[in-house]
């Protein structure tokens, strides 16, 4: 049975914990529910719920910059859940934004329909070759090739995209016909959250958003999602994420990953013993020639 050990935080450090797990770019200034879940998983103190609610509700940056939530419109249409992570992905291109010091002005977004895990990257161009390079390097080579991709682009663009991906992978038949252009509601919902998070940290000239992008994406993937009840990171990697604060305030958690690592070490040790038990010592005579 999984056991979770919580670190009891003293009064002197509570505000530091709240600031780190709400204000920091790796936390993204997300709302009360996600902030509270992020804290309660590893830390505790009397009145934790009220402390987090007051802190988030009085956050000046959230009050100034966040756009009001929008009510969903239209009827709900159930979508068949994929069988495996990254079997079905949604891809969207945002921009163009103010050009950064690194020459970027677009954001490519890819969301897995099963785990809600999202991958983002800043791009200098919106051409199909740049998007294909992103999909190959960040999705296919790291998470496996998806069987279905939803993208709000024309068929001509999609045809060039498939062609570029096949060329990069040096194959002529990599992608199935399920790659088709259509509206991508899941990724579009993330886009609004991404815009709110980026607005918290951009400079006055708005030319540093590409350096902030990896941090707020980390914040999103490490927060519990209402759709699944887990964080995307946990569903992909099978363990809770470690934040910089967790390194400063170490804690102990006994989970399945710990047992797996221990068992893996024992298996390796057993394999080594079996190998050495069958290894025959070599004995050479003084006059024997070695080739």
Please state which of the ranges 43-52, 119-128, 148-157, 184-193 shows the lowest mean pLDDT. 148-157
The pTM of this model reads 0.81
d(CA 128, CA 51) in angstroms, rounded, equals: 48
The domain made up of 88-189 is a member of CATH 3.40.50.720? no
pLDDT digits (tens, 9 = 90+) for 81-125: 788 999 988 888 898 899 999 999 999 999 999 999 999 999 999
87, 147 Cβ separation under 8 angstroms: yes
90-94, 187-191, 257-261: lowest mean pLDDT where? 257-261
Annotated domain spans of the chain: 1-67+230-265, 88-189
Q: Which is nearest to 93 in space by CA: 113, 56, 120, 74?
A: 120
What's the confidence (pLDDT) of residue 1? Answer: 46
* Nearest-angstrom CA–CA distance, 235 and 102: 33
What are 63's two structure tokens?
Answer: 């009050």
Out of 59-73, 168-182, 229-243, pick the least confident.
168-182
Residue (of 110, 111, 114) closest to 84 by Cα position:
114
Tell me if 106 sits within 8 A of 125, measured CB to CB: yes
Query: Which long-range contacts (C-beta less than 8 Å, at least 24 apart) are formed by 250-253?
Result: 251/5, 251/6, 251/7, 251/42, 251/43, 252/5, 253/3, 253/4, 253/5, 253/42
Cα dihedral 227/233/234/240 (nearest 10)? -130
Q: Which residues pair with 43 in a beta bridge?
A: 7
Question: Residue written as tokens 């050495």?
Answer: 276
Question: CATH assignment of 1-67+230-265?
Answer: 1.10.340.70
Tell me how far CA of residue 191 lies from CA of 28, 95, 101, 195, 207, in angstroms: 14, 11, 22, 6, 19
Find the farthest-apart pair of alpha carbons in the chain and give their distance in angstroms, rounded.
Answer: 90
Distance CA 6, CA 154 (A): 51
Strand partners, 231: none
Query: Is it the case that residue 77 has pLDDT exceeding 90?
Result: no
Share of the chain above pLDDT 90, in %: 50
Three-state DSSP class for residue 156: helix
Asked if residue 126 lies in contact with residue 160, where contact means CB atoms within 8 angstroms, the answer is no
- Looking at residues 12-21, what average pLDDT do you find? 95
| Token pair of 45 as six digits | 């103190």
Question: For residue 24, with 0-12 CB atoms within 10 Å meaning exposed, 13-18 middle and 19 or more buried, which class applies?
Answer: middle
């Amino acid at each position: 049975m999984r056991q979770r050990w919580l670190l009891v935080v003293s009064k002197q450090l509570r505000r530091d914990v709240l600031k780190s797990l709400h204000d920091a770019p790796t936390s993204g200034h997300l709302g009360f529910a996600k902030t509270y879940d992020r804290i309660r998983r590893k830390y505790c103190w009397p009145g934790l719920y009220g402390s987090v609610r007051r802190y988030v509700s009085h956050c000046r940056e959230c009050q100034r910059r966040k756009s009001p939530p929008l009510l969903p419109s239209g009827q709900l249409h159930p979508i068949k859940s994929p069988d495996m992570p990254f079997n079905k992905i949604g891809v969207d291109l945002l921009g163009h934004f103010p050009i950064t010091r690194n020459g970027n002005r677009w954001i490519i977004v890819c969301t897995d329909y099963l785990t809600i895990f999202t991958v983002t990257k800043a791009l200098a161009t919106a051409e199909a070759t740049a998007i294909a390079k992103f999909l190959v390097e960040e999705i296919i080579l790291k998470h496996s090739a998806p069987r279905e991709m939803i993208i709000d682009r024309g068929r001509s663009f999609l045809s060039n995209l498939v062609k570029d991906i096949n060329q990069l992978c040096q194959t002529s038949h990599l992608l199935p016909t399920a790659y088709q252009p259509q509206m991508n509601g899941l990724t579009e919902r993330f886009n609004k959250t991404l815009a709110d998070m980026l607005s918290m940290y951009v400079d006055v000239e708005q030319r540093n958003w590409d350096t902030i992008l990896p941090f707020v994406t980390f914040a999103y993937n490490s927060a519990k999602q209402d759709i699944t009840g887990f964080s995307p990171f946990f569903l992909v990697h099978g363990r809770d994420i470690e934040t910089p604060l967790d390194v400063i305030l170490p804690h102990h958690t006994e989970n399945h990953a710990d047992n797996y690592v221990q068992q893996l070490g024992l298996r390796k040790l057993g394999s080594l013993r079996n190998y050495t038990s069958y290894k025959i010592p070599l004995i050479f005579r003084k006059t024997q020639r070695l080739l």
